[in-house]
Amino acid sequence: MNERILIVEDEAITALDLKYSLEELGYEIVDTVDTGQDAIDTAAETVPDVVLMDIKLKGDMEGIEAAEVISELRIPIIYLTANTDTDTFEKSNVKGSYGFVSKPYDINKLDKTLKITINRAKLEEKKINDASGFTE
Amino acid sequence: MRIEKTYRKLDHVEEVNIYDIKESELFQHVPQEFEMPFTPFEKTLNNLSNDLDIFIPYNDGEDFIVHRLGLSALVRGHIKQSDVAGRLLSKTSPGFFNILKEPLKEVYETRKTKKMRFYYHFHEKLARFSNVKIIYDMDKLILISDHRDNRETSLHVPDDGHGEKANLIEYFSLTGSYYKIKDRYTWTQGIYNIINRSREENDEYYNIIFDLVIPEDRPLVEKMLQVMDQKRSNYESVVRIRTDDGVLKYIEISIYSKFDENGEIINRYGLIKDVSTDSNRKMTRPVDFLLKGFKNSKKLALMIEPLSSKYHEFSEGFYNIIEIGPNDYHHNRKVLENIVEEDVQCKLKELADGKIDELETIFTYNVGGDENKQKIVEIYIERFEFGQTHSIGFLTDITEEQNKQKELIEANEHQKILIKEVHHRVKNNLQVLNSFLNLEKRAYKNKPNVIIDHMQSRLSSLAILHEKTYNTTDFKNINLKEYIIDQDSQLRSLIGLRDGIEFVSDVDENITLTIEVITPLLLVIDELTMNAIKHAFPDKSMPDKKIFKQITKLNNEKGQLILKDNGVGIEDPTKITKNLGCEIIKNLTKQLDGKIELIQHEHGTGYKLTFPLDMEHTIEG
Chain A neighbours among B 423-452 (CB < 8 Å)? 423-425, 427-428, 430-432, 434-436, 438-439, 442
Rounded CA separation B412/B261 (Å) = 71
Q: Does B537 contact A at CB distance below 8 Å?
A: no
pLDDT value for B184: 83
Q: How far does A15 lie from chain B, in Å, by closest CA?
A: 8
Query: Which residue in A13, A58, A62 is closest to B435 by CB distance?
Result: A13
Is there a contact between B179 and B8 (Cβ–Cβ < 8 Å)? Answer: no
User: What is the structure's pLDDT at B342?
Assistant: 92
Beta-bridge partner residues of B392: B304, B382
* Domain count of the fold of chain A: 1
Contact across the interface for A104 and B436, Cβ inside 8 Å: no
Q: Which residue of B has its CA nearest to A104?
A: B431
A107: domain CATH number is 3.40.50.2300
d(CA B322, CA B397): 9
CA distance B392 to B381: 6
Task: Name, in order, each residue with C-beta under 8 angstroms of A82's C-beta and a sequence gap of 6 or more.
Answer: A56, A102, A103, B423, B424, B425, B427, B428, B431
DSSP B495: I
Q: Do B439 and A82 touch (CB under 8 A)?
A: no
B285: nearest Cα among B133, B171, B373? B171
B132-138 long-range contacts (CB < 8 A, ≥24 apart) are B133/B159, B134/B103, B134/B104, B134/B107, B135/B107, B136/B107, B136/B108, B136/B111, B136/B112
Structural domain contains residue A39: yes
A51 is in which domain, residue-wise?
A: 4-131
Task: Identify the pLDDT of residue B607.
Answer: 92
Looking at the complex, report in whole angstroms how far the Cα of residue A116 sits from the nearest Cα belonging to chain B: 23
Cβ <8 Å between B621 and A11: no
List of chain B residues whose C-beta atoms are within 8 Å of the C-beta of residue A63: 621
Interface predicted TM-score (ipTM): 0.84
User: What average pLDDT does this structure show over A76-95?
Assistant: 78
For the segment A40-79, what is each residue's pLDDT rounded down to a tens digit?
Answer: 999 999 999 999 999 889 888 989 899 989 988 889 999 9
Name the amino acid, one letter, at B332. Answer: N
Asked whether the beta carbons of B610 and B559 are under 8 A apart, the reply is yes
Residue A17 in domain: yes
Tell me how far apart the alpha carbons of residues B423 and B503 are, in angstroms, rounded to a whole number.
33
CB neighbour list of residue B65: distance below 8 Å, 6 or more residues apart: B33, B34, B36, B55, B56, B57, B58, B86, B87, B88, B89
How far apart are alpha carbons B215 and B248 in whole angstroms?
12
Contact predicate A66/A40, CB 8 Å: yes
Q: pLDDT digits over B45-73, tens only?
A: 766 667 789 999 999 999 999 999 988 78
Q: Residues of B220-257 as b/e, b for ≥16 C-beta within 10 angstroms?
A: ebeebeeebeeeeeebeeebbbeeeeeeebbbbbbbbb
Instruction: Assess contact for B480 and B551: CB atoms under 8 A.
Output: yes
pTM of this prediction?
0.51
Range from B116-130, B438-452, B456-470, B572-586 that averages highest in pLDDT: B438-452
Q: What is the mean pLDDT of chain B?
A: 80
Give the one of B423, B435, B516 whose C-beta lies nearest to A14's C-beta.
B435
Closest CA to A98 of A115, A86, A83, A85: A115
Q: How far A118 CA sits from the closest chain B CA (Å)?
A: 24
Task: Determine the Cα–Cα distance for residues A123 and A131; give it in Å rounded to an integer.
Answer: 12
Instruction: Find chain B residues with C-beta within 8 A of A89's C-beta.
Output: none
Give the residue among B533, B551, B540, B542 at the shortest CA–CA distance from B605: B533
What is the arrangement of strands in the sheet containing B265-274, beginning at the earlier edge strand?
Answer: B184-187, B175-181, B265-274, B248-259, B234-242
Residues of A in contact with B454 (CB under 8 A): none
Is the CB of residue B594 less than 8 Å away from at least one CB of chain A?
Answer: no
- Nearest C-alpha neighbor of B530 from the set B597, B572, B582: B582
Taking the Cβ of residue B617 and every Cβ of chain A, the question of whether any pair is shorter than 8 Å is answered with yes
Domains defined for chain B, CATH in brackets: 2-145 (3.30.450.20), 161-274 (3.30.450.20), 294-397 (3.30.450.20), 404-612 (3.30.565.10)
Which pLDDT band holds residue B331 (cuts at 50, 70, 90)? low
Select the residue of B439, B516, B616 nearest A60 (Cβ to Cβ). B616
Cα–Cα distance measured from residue B571 to residue B82, given in angstroms and rounded to the nearest whole number: 122
Q: Residue A136 domain-assigned? A: no
Rounded Cα distance, B397 and B399, in Å: 6
pLDDT at A121 over 50: yes
> Cβ contacts of residue B402 below 8 Å, gap of 6+?
B376
Q: Establish if A84 belongs to a structural domain.
A: yes
pLDDT attached to residue B10:
45
Diameter of chain A by CA atoms? Answer: 45
| Residue A106 is assigned to a structural domain of this protein | yes
Q: Nearest by CB to B591, which of A10, A55, A82?
A: A10
Helix (H/G/I), strand (E/B), else coil: B307: coil
